[in-house]
Amino acid sequence: QQPVQSPQAVILREGEDAVINCSSSKALYSVHWYRQKHGEAPVFLMILLKGGEQKGHEKISASFNEKKQQSSLYLTASQLSYSGTYFCGTESAWSGNTPLVFGKGTRLSVIA
């Protein structure tokens, strides 16, 4: 079952912050985040494994709340280059061999 992402779309001005959420009804083993710019390949951002860890990637970080089966992606002091569609992909907890199931994506637009 695919994870649910929210919001579906968001518009930011440069320098503003945003949070993108990814929720699943199933127990999760890992959450993956990708960004896809228009006409380009999706690009890996980070993986979070169960254990409630938080990771950072420049001004983009993420957390994984195992109890809530939810991950949040935090974008701080947004830049024009952050524009794109953000996807979360999840693996269910019972096996690391299950393929990723992706959400529908969150379209982020950063304007000057």
Partner 1 sequence: ETGVTQTPRHLVMGMTNKKSLKCEQHLGHNAMYWYKQSAKKPLELMFVYSLEERVENNSVPSRFSPECPNSSHLFLHLHTLQPEDSALYLCASSQDRGLPGELFFGEGSRLTVL
Binding-site ranges for partner 1 (CB under 8 A):
2, 29-30, 32, 34, 39-44, 47, 49, 87, 89, 91, 96-97, 99-105
AA identity, residue 10: V
Four-residue CA torsion sign, 1, 6, 44, 56: negative
* Min CB(51)–partner 1 separation in Å: 12
- The residue among 41 and 112 lying less far from partner 1, judged by its C-beta, is 41
Strands 84-92 and 28-36: antiparallel
* Min CB(60)–partner 1 separation in Å: 15
Q: For residue 20, which of 10, 31, 6 has the smallest C-alpha distance?
A: 6
* Min CB(36)–partner 1 separation in Å: 8
